[in-house]
Chains A and B, each alone.
Chain A
Amino acid sequence: MTTESMPTPTKAETAQNPRALARARKRRSIARFWREYRGHRSGLWGLAALALIALVALFAPQLVGADSQSVTGAPGGALESPSGEFPLGTDQFGRSVLALLVWGTRVSLTVGLLAAFLCVAIGTVVGIVAGHFHGWYSTVLMRITDWFLVMPTLVLAIALATVMDRSMWTVIIAIGVTTWPTTARLVRAQTLAVESRPYIERARALGGGHGHIMVRHVLPNVMPLVLAQTTLVISSAILTEATLAFLGLSDPTTTSWGGMLQDAREAGAVSAGHWWYLAPPGIAIAVVALAFTLCGRAIESVLNPKLGVAR
């Protein structure tokens, strides 16, 4: 190629070009990510399961009817065994267990996603700040993190859920504020690694302040790690939500999978041997948690090849 063929860029084009370039680079990296992700078959299974579950949650009213949670309009008798009308039988109020299972998807996903988001948000902020600033500031933050790390998560969450009102938001907050320390430690380690790179020093030399370095340089570099961590935290958040609901610490009037297990236990379904009431919510919890874990592992190994095989 010759230099003649290169058109002289106009002013508008120079302004547009870097942005277009960046966009193209981003597109390329996403395509590369997807290509590598496709290589992980378990990750694909997880993703497919998640897509299905998300669709079920979104279209719950269309799938099983908007009033299927109502106790006053319950169609069946109490604790019926599976039949054509009720494929998974009925609960003690005569509501279809399948319909409740579908509605429970919403609560489990909402709580799982929001709690994981809260947890990762706290963890990222604490981690980056503790990694960026040295001295007593970081020490104090990390000791607080350590304190939360050694506290048994479930006990702390139970204590919080007991003190506050019984509602979905309580459960989200209880999970969020008790599970962030691992993320914080992870992000801090990555921050330290990123900050030791020479370009950070260059940025600082060019007059970049703390905020600029943390937001423009460190954050984008820890983002992949944070993303992988989020997908992994979601599954544990869903499990914790189910545990708290099973222990009777969530709002008794909303339908969730843990709450269904609690209802089944209270109705005496365990000793009466009504497996169709007990097994589906338990399996559903396991499937969703598994799907998120599979996706999380796949993302993690794509973004961080060092982790790929060992874990």
Chain B
Amino acid sequence: MVERVPPRSAQPRSRLRVLLASGAAALALAAGSIVPGVPLGAAPQQAQAADGGKSTLTVAVAQSVDSLSPFLAQKLMSTSISRLMYDFLTNYDPKDNHAVPGLATKWEPSADKLTWTYTIRSDSKWSDGQQATAEDAAWTFNKMMTDEGAAQANGNFVANFKKVTAPSPTQLVIELKQPQATMAALDVPIVPKHVWEKVGDFSKFNNDKTFPIVGNGPFILTDYKVDQYVKLKANKDFWRGKPKFDELVFKTYKDQDAAVAALRKGEVSFVAGSPALTPAQAASLKGEKNVKVNEGPGRRFFALATNPGAQTKDGKKFGNGNKALLDQKVRQALFLSIDRKTIIDKVFQGHAVEGQGYIPPRFSAYHWQPTAEQSLAYDPAKAAELLDEAGYELKGDQRVGKDGKPLDLRILCHATDPNDKAIGKYLKEWWGKLGIGLKVDCLDDVSVPWYAGEYDLAFDGWSVNPDPDFVLGIHTCAALPAKAKDSASTDNFICDKKYDELYKKQLAEYDPAKRAEIVNQMQSWLYDSGYMNVIAYPNAVEAYRTDQIKSITTMPEAAGNIYGQDGYWSWWSAAPASGGSSDGSGGSNSTGVVIGIIVVVVVLAGGGLFIAMRRRNTADDRE
């Protein structure tokens, strides 16, 4: 037997070469799989662009989707997608928020205002070809009324419903127990009965298994990958008209700087800040060619919630909120020592409006301002006085209660929100001057201690709808959890008889002026209570590429926001600029390749250096 034996002298070198070659191959593979990770999502997009010249609108978002089921979705990202997938009975006009036709073309109350009749349009079809009818709407509402699992997200709208029927395919009749003012603003996605009646447990079903998802909104959801992307395609048969972009992709960028860099390179057409672009990012993007920074009054309020003593519906206390906060004087003292103007100037750098009432000034019909004497403006001296009155006297540099314990508070902050942390720093100093200790607890997921009532104060914020019913409803006793530590729709465990009565009254009031008057009384009560201290109304600061998006509707149309509107206006109306996004994804692919090549070269060079050094080392050893 003859074995081929390589010449001895060549052996080490060839082994080295094999090693190098295999290393390079492995690196190339690794680079191929890792580096173009982002453009990988763009690849199928590009393929489509090649076969039919499809235009794609890519939106960088930071929030995750909590559920694609409209019965469970509560995050802004998910409810915005619900609006694109399913038509609502009515919609808000982008100009002035008045109710305009959606799936319903007409709506009328009876004389006693307890029976509402909706005329359902006959030109809306589900994406599987079936007609959308009043029967679908009736089934959706009935499901929410009978199945607690289906009432999780929007249960407040149907709590007062007595009976919902569909006498004919174009007629929906809702009978109420008591008059309800939100009947033209039912923010409930209507789902196809023939698909959803097969669903078993609504509290577990996330609607993310079979694609495309049957819907009748302006877009149809075609694909979804957790924390990667949500893909939608235009619904050609949408009754209001086909959207101008063929495809809409929400791509997840957990890092806002990465999203801004992607916008600069043209990989994404739009960046929705989380919750807004930082002032530095906005300023640097303003000078960029082909990028427009859009700033509008926000829908959100940013508030400081104080734990009023967590309790269940039947009054069982739980949690460990600081007892000192049960005193209204202490709560007001805390708020009196916050200089909101400084926060607007320094933290938001002017990209926000100073907080007053509960509902942002954007919704002028319901915005309320405190009167001069009830206003809690920045006044540390008065705050110190109130604390003295409440029995927390200054000993040394600490406020000490009657029980001899120093007044030390905790505040829950979202680790993902830089504003929370920044304001936390200010609060620590302001309250420190008063003698109050503060510990800033920043967590990725605040919901665990929150639901358990284990907090003293918390940074809080909600997006407000044109109809304020939802954000008012989360402070009623009815929203409290049934069992301790259960998730519930309550925001901050507030439960007050007077507030509840006002809440019922406003819901039953059909006259807008009178209803606004009651809503104002509620806001006044909230303000005085010190449970919800609104610090600011942050503006929406977002940016898009003008060489990819020619025009897009803001809401309100004059100067408003684009992402997270009360409707589908922005994405439905967005028009592609010529030579749109296919350039962008092509560019991203090539940059991916370039980065890959650079990485391979750098690693090879490093490897060569390493081997050279080792050689020298062994040479040293020999000496």
Identify the A interface with B (CB < 8 A).
Answer: 70-72, 74, 78-79, 92-94, 165-166, 248, 251-253, 263, 265-274, 309-310
- Give the residue name and chain of the B residue nearest to A273 (CB): B284
- Give the residue name and chain of the B residue nearest to A78 (CB): B349
Cβ contact within 8 Å between A92 and B442:
no
Cβ contact within 8 Å between B280 and A267:
yes
Which residues of chain B have C-beta atoms less than 8 A from A93's C-beta? 346-347, 422, 425
The docked-state distance in angstroms from the alpha carbon of A258 to that of B198 is: 52
- Give B337 Cβ to nearest chain A Cβ, in Å: 11
Which residues of chain A have C-beta atoms less than 8 A from B189's C-beta? none
Q: Which one, B261, B342, B422, B440, contacts A92 given CB within 8 A?
A: B422
- Contact A71 to B280, CB < 8 A, known contacts A252-B442, A267-B418, A268-B256: no
The docked-state distance in angstroms from the alpha carbon of A308 to that of B277 is: 53
Which residues of chain B have C-beta atoms less than 8 A from A166's C-beta? 441-442
- Give B304 Cβ to nearest chain A Cβ, in Å: 17
- Contact A271 to B442, CB < 8 A, known contacts A78-B279, A252-B424, A265-B257: no
Proximity string of chain B (279-323) to chain A, C-beta cutoff 8 Å, 1 when within and 0 when not:
111011000000000000000000000000000000000000000
Q: Report the interface size class on chain B.
A: 20 to 34
Known: A72-B430, A252-B440, A271-B280. 20 other contacts (CB 8 A): A70-B429, A71-B425, A71-B426, A72-B429, A78-B279, A79-B280, A92-B279, A92-B280, A93-B346, A248-B442, A252-B413, A252-B425, A263-B418, A267-B418, A269-B280, A270-B261, A271-B260, A271-B281, A271-B284, A272-B283
Identify the B interface with A (CB < 8 A).
Answer: 255-257, 260-261, 264, 277-281, 283-284, 342, 346-347, 349, 413, 415, 418, 421-422, 424-426, 428-430, 440-442, 617, 620-621
- Contact A272 to B284, CB < 8 A, known contacts A71-B426, A166-B441: yes
Cβ contact within 8 Å between A72 and B422:
no
Residue with the highest number of chain B CB atoms closer than 10 Å, among A71, A93, A165? A71
State the total of A-B contacts with C-beta under 8 angstroms: 81
Which residues of chain B have C-beta atoms less than 8 A from A263's C-beta? 418
Across the A-B interface, give the 6 residue pairs with the lowest CB-CB distance, nearest first: A268-B281, A266-B418, A268-B278, A272-B284, A271-B260, A272-B280
- Contact A72 to B280, CB < 8 A, known contacts A248-B415, A253-B424, A271-B257: no
Q: List 10 A-B contacts (CB under 8 A).
A: A71-B426, A72-B426, A78-B279, A78-B349, A92-B422, A248-B415, A252-B421, A252-B440, A270-B257, A272-B283
The docked-state distance in angstroms from the alpha carbon of A70 to that of B281 is: 24
- Give the residue name and chain of the A residue nearest to B419 (CB): A266
- Give A279 Cβ to nearest chain B Cβ, in Å: 16
Which residues of chain B have C-beta atoms less than 8 A from A92's C-beta? 278-280, 347, 422
- Give the residue name and chain of the B residue nearest to A73 (CB): B429
The docked-state distance in angstroms from the alpha carbon of A252 to that of B440 is: 7
Which residues of chain A have C-beta atoms less than 8 A from B422's C-beta? 71, 92-93
Which residues of chain A have C-beta atoms less than 8 A from B620's C-beta? 309
The docked-state distance in angstroms from the alpha carbon of A94 to that of B441 is: 24
